């Protein structure tokens, strides 16, 4: 599983980090940081939680 964050769509709502702080992190301006590599199995639900929490649909789980 991979998580892609469309940084051009991210508006800094921070709901991803609030919904799944174990996976999503924000930069100093409050925008989501890219997530590199494969998401570990134990964070799969966190990935989906973050995806559904983003009002800008900036997060894609594949």
Strand partners for 4: 60
- Choosing from 11, 22, 34, 40, the residue that interacts with ligand F3S (CB under 6 A) is 11
Q: Is 10 in the site for ligand F3S (CB under 6 A)?
A: yes
Instruction: Work out how close the CB of 13 gets to ligand F3S at its nearest, in angstroms, rounded to a whole number.
Output: 4
Q: Is 35 in the site for ligand F3S (CB under 6 A)?
A: no
Q: Is 4 in the site for ligand F3S (CB under 6 A)?
A: no
């Amino acid at each position: 599983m991979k998580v892609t964050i469309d940084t051009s769509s991210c508006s800094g709502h921070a709901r991803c980090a609030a919904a799944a702080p174990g996976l999503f992190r924000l930069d100093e301006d409050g925008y989501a940081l890219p997530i590199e590599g494969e998401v570990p199995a134990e964070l799969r639900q966190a990935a989906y939680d973050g995806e559904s929490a983003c009002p800008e649909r900036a997060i894609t789980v594949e």
